[in-house]
Every structure is written in C-alpha cells, then in structure tokens.
C-alpha cells in the first residue's frame, strides 16, 4: 500500500498528528496503570506519532527513568524530536521487525494496530519486548457503521484506519499473540468542531453508555478500548 506516513499524505490531513488528544489519553493510561499497581521504570511507545503522549506522561511520572518513542514515519519523528528532553528520546524505527534484545518495563501501543497492514506479525514482533503493554484501539465496527459504510471509508482516507475491530475480536487476537489481559476501560470519542447533529448523537451515545456500556459500543459506537496486558511470549 501507499506509504502515507512518509510521503506527506497523512501529515497534510493531520498536521498536529493528533497531539491535541494526548492529554486525554495520558490521563486514561495513568488511570489504568494506577488501579492495577503496575511498577515500571522504562517506557517505550511504539508508533509514537507526535510524541506528545510521552511528553504528557513524563511530567506526571517522575518515578520513570526513561521514555523512548519509535515510529516508522519520518514526518512524525520530525515533529517529536523537537520535544526531546534528558528523559525522552525519539527515533525512526520499527521495533517489531528487528532482532535486538531491547526490553522495556512498559510498552504503549496507542491507536496503532488499526493502521498496520499485518497486525499479527506486528503483535508477535513486539510481545517479547515489554513486560506490560497498554493498547488503545478504536472499536470502529458496530451496527450503525454497517449501515453507514462511508464512515469507514472516510476514516481510512482521513486517518489511515485500514482495519476495524469489535471488542471481543481484538481481545481474542491479543490473547492469541501472547498478551494476557489484566484490565480494560472504554474511552469516549473526542469531538472536534462538532455540529448540532453530532452533538445530539453524542448526547444520545453518552446516555446509552450509562445504561449499558457494551450495548452502546456495539450499536451506536464511537468508543475505543484501552487494554492493559502482561506479556507472555
């Protein structure tokens, strides 16, 4: 497929590389780690994009000693490198297909799997490189999306989502690849420049979510899932 992450295609449509969502995602990562009392010193983000999530985490995790951000995109790393500190380093690198014996206490794979052509190979390539992993995965396959398939096509064209998952399906895939599920939480959609129609749908979505979370994610959708795993390659 066309390499949209290195030919300026993705950057032209997403000039911030979703940096504005980083604080929200960092909050959820910390919530999941704290409630499961995960101890770690080194953090690696696979597919770090703009690097803003690591920047947010460094300021809130003084106990962590080092943060490493890797991405296959030179466009993304050019943005991220401007944010390097003594603790945070960024590099153009695909750690899923190298044989280095690198190992990190905690890996972050935040909104990445849906972009990867062969996500089985990707997952099998990283499972042995971290003790724990936090995944964030959009649940793009739900009943409403089946009636409005153009939404999935627009998502592919705008943000590069070439795979669409349901909760049980992706959880099963993670287990098959050696990731033991410890905990998971849903994360709500972040509205940007929403019109009155989108705001109404979001209000309806939030109301239904309070009544039945799984039913909401499978019908109206819009939610993602954040999963904490222990890695057992």
| Predicted structure pTM score | 0.92
CA 141, CA 133: separation in Å to the nearest integer?
A: 23
**Does the residue 212 lie in any domain?**
no
Residue 89's CATH number: 3.40.50.150
CA 115, CA 164: separation in Å to the nearest integer?
A: 10
Contacts of residue 37, defined as CB under 8 A and 6 or more positions apart, other chains included, come to none
pLDDT in tens, 183-204: 999 998 875 665 676 777 778 8
Tell me if 90 sits within 8 A of 79, measured CB to CB.
no
**Does the residue 202 lie in any domain?**
no
Please state, rounded to an integer, the average pLDDT across all residues of the chain.
Answer: 91
Q: Which two tokens stand for residue 196?
A: 């009155």
Tell me if 1 sits within 8 A of 117, measured CB to CB.
yes
The alpha carbon torsion through 200, 204, 205, 207 (nearest 10 deg) reads: 140
Residue-level pLDDT, tens digit, the chain, 233 residues: 568 999 999 999 999 998 999 999 999 999 999 999 999 999 999 999 999 999 999 999 999 999 999 999 999 999 999 999 999 999 999 999 877 778 999 999 999 999 999 999 999 999 999 999 999 999 999 888 888 888 778 888 888 889 999 999 999 999 999 999 999 999 988 756 656 767 777 788 888 888 988 888 998 888 999 999 999 87
**Does the residue 76 lie in any domain?**
yes
**DSSP at 135:** E
**Does the residue 56 lie in any domain?**
yes
**Nearest of 29, 75, 67 to residue 50 by alpha carbon:** 75
**Does the residue 136 lie in any domain?**
yes
The domain tally of the chain equals 1
């Amino acid at each position: 497929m066309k390499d949209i992450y290195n030919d300026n295609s993705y950057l032209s449509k997403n000039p911030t590389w979703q940096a504005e969502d980083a604080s929200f995602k960092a909050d959820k990562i910390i919530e999941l780690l704290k409630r499961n009392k995960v101890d770690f010193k080194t953090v690696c983000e696979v597919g770090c994009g703009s690097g803003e999530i690591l920047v947010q985490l460094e300021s809130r995790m003084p106990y962590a000693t080092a943060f490493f951000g890797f991405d296959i995109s030179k466009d993304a790393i050019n943005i991220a490198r401007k944010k390097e500190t003594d603790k945070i380093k960024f590099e153009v690198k695909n750690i899923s297909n190298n044989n280095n014996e690198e190992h990190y206490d905690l890996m972050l794979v935040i909104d990445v799997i849906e972009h990867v052509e062969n996500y089985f190979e990707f997952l099998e390539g990283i499972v042995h490189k971290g003790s724990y992993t936090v995944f964030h995965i959009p649940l793009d396959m739900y009943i409403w999306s089946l009636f409005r398939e153009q939404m999935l096509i627009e998502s592919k064209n705008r943000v590069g989502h070439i795979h669409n998952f349901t909760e049980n399906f992706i959880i099963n895939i993670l287990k098959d690849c050696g990731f033991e599920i410890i905990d998971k939480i849903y994360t709500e959609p972040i509205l940007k420049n929403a019109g009155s129609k989108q705001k109404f749908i979001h209000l309806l979505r939030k109301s239904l979510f309070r009544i039945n979370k799984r039913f909401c994610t499978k019908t109206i959708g819009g939610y993602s899932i954040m999963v904490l795993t222990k890695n057992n390659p």
